[in-house]
Amino acid sequence: MRPRGRDSVRGMSEGIWDGGLADDLAAEVLFDEATLRARIAELGREIQAAYTDKPLLVVGILKGSFLFLADLVRAINLPLEVDFMSVSSYRGTKSTGVVKILKDLDVDVDGKHILIVEDIVDTGLTLRYLLENLETRRPASIEVCALLDKSAVRKENVEVRFSGFECPNAFVVGYGLDYDGRYRNVPYIGVLKPEVYAD
Ligand code: IMP
């Protein structure tokens, strides 16, 4: 079988992702646009079924979740609210475990069902911190939806109820995920070439 290369994403983004910024990614695309779209539609259906008649507050964790959240909420036909938190936990390509809140929620979570939307759960340290922090604010419930799950490197036992894809243990970028602030605008998810980051 032919490996899924950039050809498979060509057309959907008018072929602009051949060369340029995309040259820093390995040739094989991990999750292309069509694959992402199809899985997010399924996640939306699952979430819609789970939260019918419940006050749902979708909390996007910035910045990595911005594209995923935008697509996910459009796949959920419920009167949900959206808010964002911004946290920092990374330096380079390794988790530090030290989480800092850069932007807190604007809305009150009392009595609401929180759905945390993450781009990727790696060690789980960021999520553990977020869950503990949000639990003190007495929401009706808290669940997690993560597009990518790197469960092989998990250090914290955190439950991801809605999981998009199992992710290999490589540093991935695109579709919101960055390295050093870049690659978030790549419309698919790929593996960053190791020579791009000097760790
Ligand atoms: P954790 O605390 O180790 O679970 O890391 C969570 C955060 O680290 C995610 O929300 C991402 O922002 C970032 N992260 C973890 N793995 C990757 C990756 O492979 N590429 C880009 N960002 C990552």
- The band of 33, judged by pLDDT with boundaries at 50, 70 and 90, is very high
Which residues, listed in sequence order, are joined to residue 145 by a DSSP beta bridge?
A: 117, 162
Alpha carbon of 132 to ligand 1 centroid (Å): 18
Is residue 136 in a domain? yes
Q: Catalytic residue positions?
A: 122
- Tell me if 21 is assigned to some domain: yes
Tell me the percentage of the chain whose pLDDT exceeds 70. 88
Query: What confidence score (pLDDT) does residue 98 get?
Result: 74
Cα-to-centroid distance, 52 and ligand 1 (Å):
30
**In testing the pocket of ligand 1, which one of 62, 177, 192 has its CB within 8 Å of the most ligand atoms?**
177
- What is the tally of structural domains in the chain? 1
The domain in which residue 95 lies consists of 6-196
Residue 95 falls within a domain, yes or no? yes
136-141 long-range contacts (CB < 8 A, ≥24 apart) are: 137/109, 137/110, 138/109, 138/110, 138/111, 139/57, 139/109, 139/110, 139/111, 139/112, 139/113, 139/114, 140/54, 140/55, 140/111, 140/112, 140/113, 141/113, 141/114
In a domain, 36, yes or no: yes
**Structure confidence at residue 10 (pLDDT):** 43
> Is it the case that residue 105 has pLDDT exceeding 70?
yes
Q: What is the CATH number of the domain that holds 136?
A: 3.40.50.2020
Of 30, 116, 120, best ligand 1 pocket probe by most atoms within 8 Å of the beta carbon = 120
What's the rounded Cα separation, in Å, for the pair 123 and 95?
7
Is 1 within a domain? Answer: no
pTM here is 0.91
Closest-CA residue, ligand 1 atom 9, reads 120
pLDDT tens-digit map of 154-195:
888 899 999 999 999 999 999 999 999 999 999 999 999 989
